[in-house]
Amino acid sequence: MLRVFLAVLRRELLLVWRERVDVLVTLAFFVIVTGLFPFGVGAGAGQLRAIAPGVLWVAALLSVLLSLHRLFERDFAEGTLEQLLLSPEPAVLWVLAKMVAFWLAAGLPVVVAAPVLALAFDLDPAGLPVLAAALALGTPSLALVGALGAALTLGLRGGGMLLALIVLPLFVPVLIFGAGAVEAEISGVGARAHLLLLGGILAAALALAPPACVAALRMVND
């Protein structure tokens, strides 16, 4: 079982490495979206500090969203997906491996970059570790739920917009607790409750999203 998981994970990571530009593009997108807000809102330090957690979270969410199409598209076009679904190995395993690889490529860079960008927003340094922790707990949930959306909209005309419409309402809880964690930490309440809730969401997503995703992929090939 673990062997299958690791084999798929290795293959996916190799593919990510071959197209490492994509990772950089995701990162650049994250930085640019974040960088747009001071132009729109105004660069007063107090103002920026107040909106920083929310801005970084929304930008992270959009970065994940816009990378989602990469998740299954290539395998779908090449027919690999069909073969994987027909293979005797449990499909949940390789779907999970793909999700993990996807998060490593699209989520992790954002987690690492966010605290640095937060400094540019003059965020209280006390909030930085919590920001990273919240993103580290929250973005995998986004990737898991997003993967389900990607599977449902796979191969559809205008799938990108549709994907956003389906997935964004489901992202709201993660956004609330994620951005709330940073604010709670800075205001002195402490982020424990928020982080626990994010962890809870992640656990639930981890349990429910892969099988649902497999079901959605089977619909495509039926």
Partner 1 sequence: MLAGRLAPWCAGLAAVLAALGLWLGFFVAPADAVQGEVYRVIFIHVPAAWMSMFIYLLMAFWSAVGLVMNTRMSFLLARALAPTGAMFCFVALWTGALWGRPTWGAYWAWDARLTLQLLLLFLYFGFIALTRAIAEPNRADRAGALIALVGAVNVPVIYFSVQWWSTLHQGASVSFSRAPSMAATMLAGMLTMALAAWAYSVAVVLWRVRPMILVRERHADWVVRLLAEERV
Site for partner 1 contains 177 (CB under 8 A): yes
Site for partner 1 contains 165 (CB under 8 A): yes
Site for partner 1 contains 216 (CB under 8 A): yes
Residue number with CB closer to partner 1 (127 or 180): 180
Q: Judged by CB under 8 A, which of 104, 170, 199, 206 binds partner 1?
A: 170
Phi/psi of residue 112, each to 5°?
-75, -40
Q: List the interface residues with partner 1, window 70-109 (CB under 8 A).
A: none
Site for partner 1 contains 162 (CB under 8 A): yes
Instruction: Give the separation between CA 166 and CA 212, rounded to whole angstroms.
Output: 15
Q: Judged by CB under 8 A, which of 132, 176, 199, 206 binds partner 1?
A: 176
**In contact, 73 and 188? CB cutoff 8 Å:** no
Q: List the interface residues with partner 1, window 140-159 (CB under 8 A).
A: 148, 152-153, 156-159
Q: How far is the CB of 85 from partner 1 (least distance, A)?
A: 14
Q: Find, among 143, 138, 142, 131, the residue nearest to 181 by Cα.
A: 131
Strands (E) in the chain, as ranges, are: none
Q: How far is the CB of 158 from partner 1 (least distance, A)?
A: 7
Q: Find, among 124, 120, 107, the residue nearest to 185 by Cα.
A: 124
Site for partner 1 contains 166 (CB under 8 A): yes
DSSP notation for 27-68 = HHHHHHHHHHHHHHH---HHHHHHHHHHHHHHHHHHHHHHHT
**In contact, 105 and 22? CB cutoff 8 Å:** yes
Instruction: Give the separation between CA 115 and CA 121, rounded to whole angstroms.
Output: 10
Site string for partner 1, 186-205 (x = CB under 8 A): -----------x---x----
Q: Which positions touch partner 1 (CB under 8 A)?
A: 148, 152-153, 156-159, 162, 165-166, 168-170, 172-173, 176-177, 180, 183, 197, 201, 208, 212, 215-216, 219-220, 222
